[in-house]
A = this chain, B = another copy of it.
Amino acid sequence: MACDVYVAGMGMTPFRKSNQSIEALMAEAGKMAVQRAEHRPVESIYMGAMNVEEFVGEGNFAAFLAEYLGLSGVPSSRVETACSTGAAVFESAFYAVASGYMNNVLVIAGEKMSHLPKIKTARILAEVIDREERRYGATMPALAGMIAHRYQKEFGLSDKRFRRVLARIVEKNSTNGVLNPYARAKRIITQDMYEKGRFIATPLRLFDCSPNSDGAAAVVLTSEKTPIRVSGVGHATDTMALMHRASLTSFSSTRGSALRAYAMAQLNPTDIQFAEVHDAFSIFEIIGMEDLGFFEHGQGWRGVEDGDTDRGGRLPINPSGGLLARGHPAGASGLAQIVEIALMMLGEVDEKRRIPRTDVGLAQSAGALANNNVVTILERSDRRRVMTTGWVPEYKPVIQVGTPENIPETVDDTGILETYTTLYATPEGFSPPHTLALVGLEDGTMTLARYPKYLEKSQFTIGQKVLIRKRGDSVIFQTRNLIQTVKDQVKTLFKGKNLTFAGEKKRKRN
C-alpha cells in the first residue's frame, strides 16, 4: 500500500571544528544533495538539530533554514530525538514520501557545538541524561564507562584483553576514517597511542570517546525509482536511566528498532553486508553489533578480534570511520551514517575505501544513552531477492523494557555492585576522580550511588557486596573491605580505646 521510497541524492560537509554557521553547514550539505538529485523540486523539508536553541541561540529554525536555502514557502519541520536526530528526521521524511502525498523531500541534519566553551557544551549535552543520573554528576562517558566495566565482567574478559579489543576498534575506525575525506580523523590511533590516552571514565580512555564536532548531512528522498531504495526503518525508545534497565550490556532500543526495520525490509541480520553502528563510545560498537543480530550477545568482541568487522572482513562495521573517527555533531551523525552507506553503495568513494559487498547496508543511531534509537536499511534497487515472499524472520530478540520504579526512600543497607566507573572529566559542580556505581538492591531494582570523596581510593569488583547509605538527597556506597580497612586503621591509631563505629551502634546527637 505504501509507496516505495528511494534516495535521489545526498550531501555532507566535512565533520570537524568549523568556523561556518550551522545554517551555512546545513545549506552546503543540502545543496549538494539537491544537485545530485538533479534539482527535483523539493516539496517539503524535514530538518534536524539537537539543540539549536542553546548551542547557537536560535529558535524557529525550520522556517529559518527554508529561507536560508532560498526555499521560503516550502513546508519545513524540525524533528528531534537527541543524538539520533539525523536518523529520526530521515524516518519522518520517509513516512511523508511513503504516504504518497510527497514526491521529493529534502532531509537535512546538522549541529554546531564546538564554538562554545567546553563546560557549556557539557552542560547542554547533559540535558539528554536522566535527571537523577545528572544530579549525581553522571555524564555520557560515565554511563558508557559503567556499561563497559559491566560488559568486561559479564563476559569474562581480562583487563588486558578488553583494552586490546577497544583499542582494536579505535584503530580500525581511525584507519577507515583517515581515508574518508568527510571524517575529522587525520591519523591512525595505534594500540600504543590508545593506551597513552588519559582516562575519561574508567575503563574508557580519550580515544574511546567520539569527539564533539560541527557538520551537516543531507539526503533527498523521492518516490521515483533510483539505484537506492530505503527498504526498512525502525525506531524504539528505552528508559532514560540506566538503573531502570533490565540489561546493562544490551540496548533494547536497538533491538526494538532493528526488529521493526528488519520486518519492514523483510530482511534478516545475515542479509546485511555492511553497517554504520553508533560508536559514540567504542564499547557501543560491540553492543550495537550484538543487538543488531550480527553476533550473539557477548560475542561481538570476538568479531573485532578476528577482524570480521574490518574493511576487508566478513561484515565491515563503520567503514566510514564511524562517529569515533568522523566526529559526532549530535544532530547530524544519524543522517551522516545514511549518507555514508549511500555513497558506499554507489561506489562514490575512493578506491582504497571500497568494501567487498555493498548491496545491503544498515545504519544504527542512538539517542542519548540509547534511549531513542533508529535503524535504517538501504538496499540496491537492482538487488535480486532470492525469495521475495515467505520471508522468515530470523531475528526475534527478547526486548526487555525496564519498569521505572522509585528507589527506596531511605537506604541503609547492603547491595551488589552491578557496575561502576571513575569519571576523570567531570561536569560542573563535581571534581575528579568521581566514582559512580549502579548498586543492585534486594527488591530487584538498582540505585545509582556515588563513592564519597572522604574515603580513600579503592579497588572495586563487580559483584561485590557494598554498603549503601542515604546522605541528603543522594545514595552513597562504600565497599565492605574499605570500611573494615578504615576501622582497622582507626583501631590501630586509637589502640586500646573502646571504639564504637557508625552502623554498629548509633551515637546519640541532640
Q: Is A367 positioned at the interface, with any CB of B under 8 Å from its CB?
A: yes
CA distance A296 to B256 in the complex (A): 52
Q: Is A268 positioned at the interface, with any CB of B under 8 Å from its CB?
A: no
Q: Is A496 positioned at the interface, with any CB of B under 8 Å from its CB?
A: no
> Is the Cβ of A72 less than 8 Å from the Cβ of B401?
yes
- How far is the CB of A158 from the nearest CB of chain B, in Å? 35
> Is the Cβ of B98 less than 8 Å from the Cβ of A240?
no
- How far is the CB of A100 from the nearest CB of chain B, in Å? 4
Q: Is A128 positioned at the interface, with any CB of B under 8 Å from its CB?
A: yes
Interface residue from B67, B96, B240 paired with A95 (Cβ < 8 Å): B96
> Is the Cβ of A79 less than 8 Å from the Cβ of B76?
no
The number of chain A residues touching the other chain, given as a range, is: 35 or more
Q: Is A271 positioned at the interface, with any CB of B under 8 Å from its CB?
A: no
Of all chain B residues, which has the CB nearest A369?
B60
Q: Is A99 positioned at the interface, with any CB of B under 8 Å from its CB?
A: yes
Interface residue from B60, B78, B131, B252 paired with A368 (Cβ < 8 Å): B60
Q: Is A222 positioned at the interface, with any CB of B under 8 Å from its CB?
A: no
Most buried by B among A60, A95, A127, A129: A60
> Is the Cβ of B95 less than 8 Å from the Cβ of A62?
no
Counting every copy of the chain, the complex holds: 2
Q: Is A208 positioned at the interface, with any CB of B under 8 Å from its CB?
A: no
Q: Is A44 positioned at the interface, with any CB of B under 8 Å from its CB?
A: yes
Contacts of A264 in B (CB 8 A): 101
CA distance A427 to B101 in the complex (A): 42
Given A80-B80, A95-B101, the answer on whether A371 and B63 have CB atoms closer than 8 Å is yes
CA distance A64 to B92 in the complex (A): 19
Q: Is A402 positioned at the interface, with any CB of B under 8 Å from its CB?
A: yes
> Is the Cβ of B2 less than 8 Å from the Cβ of A101?
yes
Q: Is A317 positioned at the interface, with any CB of B under 8 Å from its CB?
A: no
CA distance A101 to B94 in the complex (A): 11
- How far is the CB of A372 from the nearest CB of chain B, in Å? 4
Listed stretches A9-17, A46-54, A338-346, A408-416; interface member: A46-54
Listed stretches A231-239, A300-308, A390-398; interface member: A231-239
Of all chain B residues, which has the CB nearest A404?
B67
Q: Is A483 positioned at the interface, with any CB of B under 8 Å from its CB?
A: no
Interface residue from B59, B67, B372 paired with A124 (Cβ < 8 Å): B59
Contacts of A401 in B (CB 8 A): 72-73
Q: Is A455 positioned at the interface, with any CB of B under 8 Å from its CB?
A: no
> Is the Cβ of B100 less than 8 Å from the Cβ of A63?
no
> Is the Cβ of A127 less than 8 Å from the Cβ of B53?
yes
> Is the Cβ of A75 less than 8 Å from the Cβ of B235?
yes
CA distance A81 to B399 in the complex (A): 33
Contacts of A252 in B (CB 8 A): 73
- How far is the CB of A132 from the nearest CB of chain B, in Å? 12
Q: Is A185 positioned at the interface, with any CB of B under 8 Å from its CB?
A: no
> Is the Cβ of B372 less than 8 Å from the Cβ of A127?
no
Interface residue from B95, B127, B237, B253 paired with A59 (Cβ < 8 Å): B127
- A251-266, CB under 8 A of B: which get 1 and which 0? 0110011001000100
Interface set, chain A 30-60, CB cutoff 8 A to B: 44, 50-51, 53-54, 57-60
- A207-251, CB under 8 A of B: which get 1 and which 0? 000000000000000000000000000111111100000000000
> Is the Cβ of B72 less than 8 Å from the Cβ of A239?
yes
Most buried by B among A51, A73, A101: A73
Of all chain B residues, which has the CB nearest A96?
B95
CA distance A128 to B53 in the complex (A): 10
Most buried by B among A50, A71, A75: A75
- How far is the CB of A24 from the nearest CB of chain B, in Å? 14
> Is the Cβ of A63 less than 8 Å from the Cβ of B95?
no
Interface residue from B59, B72, B99 paired with A50 (Cβ < 8 Å): B59
CA distance A76 to B404 in the complex (A): 18
Given A63-B371, A367-B63, the answer on whether A76 and B127 have CB atoms closer than 8 Å is no
Binding site for B on A (CB under 8 A): 1-3, 44, 50-51, 53-54, 57-60, 62-64, 66-67, 71-82, 88, 91-92, 95-96, 98-102, 124, 127-129, 131, 234-240, 252-253, 256-257, 260, 264, 367-368, 371-372, 399, 401-402, 404
A-B pairs, top 7 by smallest CB distance, nearest first, are A59-B127, A75-B235, A60-B128, A98-B99, A63-B372, A1-B100, A60-B82
- Interface pairs (29), CB distance under 8 Å: A1-B3, A44-B235, A54-B54, A59-B124, A60-B81, A62-B237, A63-B81, A63-B367, A64-B240, A66-B372, A67-B237, A67-B371, A71-B237, A72-B237, A72-B239, A72-B402, A73-B237, A73-B238, A73-B252, A73-B253, A73-B256, A75-B235, A76-B372, A77-B88, A77-B91, A79-B80, A95-B95, A95-B98, A95-B99
